[in-house]
Amino acid sequence: MIRYKKLGYIAINVTDVKRSAIFYRDMVCLDQVGEITEDMAFFSSSSDYHNLILNKSHEPGLKRIAFELESTKELERAFEMLEREGYNPIEVDKEERALLKIDKAFRFRDPNGVTFEFYNKMMQRAEPYEPSPVKVLKLDHVVLRVPNFQETLHFFNEVLNFKISDTRHKPDGEMYFAFMRCFPNPYHHSFGISQGDDLRLFHIAFKVKDIDDIGIARNRLTKSDVPVVFGPGRHMASGSIFMYYLDPDGLTLEYTLGMEEFPEENPREPRMLDNTLRTTDLWEGPSDPRIGKVGHVEVNRSEANV
């Protein structure tokens, strides 16, 4: 069974790299790493060389999601298992690994055609990470809307060994949301899926240090006319305080703080949670209809180029 270290990085597509780079640096408060070009920009929210890549595209949304595995041995085992099970993992070539500052990596597609990357280690930055004025501590989680919920859940839970922390259900009992942790990483969810009409990036979340960061961020965002589309509030599932806002393309970002942590052995059973507003937000605040609306997912079905 695959063992993970963490959600490593997310590559997103943006329509204007320079505009978005300024936003992710000055409003989200991530560290810019290297030069911003017309096509690409790298950002870090830790000692890792990067945790977010911006790519130029005419359709804003998700390009790929990368997880760091526990060890090089674990990466080799995962590659063999996915090959054996017919998921066609493909090694990332040397040139791209050099660009990404990653040692060894491979990519494959989930049942929706979304590109996932698994890698063993990334270059660590020499400069200390000192986020300011909003203290972003890490890339926290990503949530996708998927049209084939049960097949996707089976893939992540049974094949990739993600553990289910909690699920949400409609009044007739049908499951429509699953929060998953990348075992044995303790955090309630690094990845979530929601039933949707189409495949879409719902949101990307960054963890902040404390409640002051939520307050400081809210004031900075609203002063700059950045839409804050939900929160501050508190999610019942993970117990976290949240605030969602939109990037320049309308992609949904979340600041989160205070998520439940699970032990590796004898974790609690996943709970069945309902679909009420109170479960989504214990403070029962209003949300803006623009939340989660933009988020095209790049799906590449060709064999070679993942």
Ligand X SMILES: CC(C)C(=O)/C=C/C(C(=O)O)=C(/O)C(=O)O
Is 154 strand, coil or helix?
A: helix
Give dist(CA 67, CA 156) in Å, integer. Answer: 13
Q: Which stretch binds ligand X (CB under 6 A): 101-109, 127-135, 233-241, 297-305?
A: 233-241
User: Helix, strand, or coil here: 10?
Assistant: strand
Task: Tell me which stretch binds ligand X (CB under 6 A): 66-74, 78-86, 237-245, 296-304.
Answer: 237-245
Backbone angles phi, psi at 126, to 5 degrees: -75, -35
Q: Which of residues 67-106 bind ligand X (CB under 6 A)?
A: none
Closest CA to 3 of 87, 68, 89, 51: 68
Q: In terms of CB distance, is 182 or 237 closer to ligand X?
A: 237
8 versus 192: smaller Cβ distance to ligand X: 192
Q: In the window 167-206, what residues touch Fe ion (CB under 5 A)? A: 205
Q: Can you tell me which of 8, 89, 131, 192 binds ligand X, judged by CB under 6 A?
A: 192
Using CB under 6 A as the binding rule, whether residue 168 contacts ligand X is answered as yes
CB of 177 to ligand X, least distance (A): 5
Nearer to ligand X, 14 or 237 (CB): 237
Q: Name residue 66's beta-bridge partners.
A: 9, 117
- The rounded distance, in Å, linking the Cα atoms of 134 and 218 is 10
Q: How many CA atoms lie within 13 A of 125 on its CB side?
A: 19
Quick one: CA dihedral 284, 288, 289, 293, positive or negative?
A: negative
Size of the site for ligand X (CB under 6 A): 12
Single residue of 163, 200, 218, 235 touching ligand X by CB under 6 A: 235
Give the single-character DSSP code of 239: -
DSSP readout, 63-115? Answer: EEEEEEES-HHHHHHHHHHHHHTT---EEPPHHHHHHHTBSSEEEEE-TT-BE
Using the rule CB under 6 A, which residue among 280, 295, 296, 297 binds ligand X?
A: 280
177 makes contact, choosing from ligand X, Fe ion, none, with CB < 5 to 8 Å by partner type, with: ligand X
- CB 25, CB 43: distance < 8 Å: yes
Contact set for ligand X, span 193-212 (CB under 6 A): 205
Q: Which is nearer to ligand X, 88 or 275 (CB)?
A: 275
- The tokens for 130 are 């000192």
Of positions 46, 152, 240, 252, contacts ligand X by CB under 6 A: 240
Report residue 273 as tokens: 């949670």
Interaction of residue 254 with Fe ion, rule CB under 5 A: yes
Task: Candidates 226, 238, 297, 306: give the one binding ligand X (CB under 6 A).
Answer: 238
Compare residues 74 and 110 and give the one whose CB is closer to ligand X.
Answer: 110
Residue 120, contacted partner among ligand X, Fe ion, none, CB below 5-8 A by kind? none
Q: Which residues contact 111 (CB under 8 A, 6 or more apart)?
A: 148, 151, 152, 155
Nearer to ligand X, 205 or 226 (CB): 205
Tokens 């400081």 correspond to what residue? 216
Of Fe ion, ligand X, none, which one does residue 240 interact with (CB within 5 to 8 Å by kind)?
ligand X
How far, CA to CA in Å, does 271 sit from each of 109, 177, 205? Answer: 29, 12, 22
Write out the residues near ligand X by the rule CB under 6 A: 143, 168, 177, 192, 205, 235, 237-238, 240, 254, 256, 280
Q: Could you list the residues that contact Fe ion (CB under 5 A)?
A: 205, 254
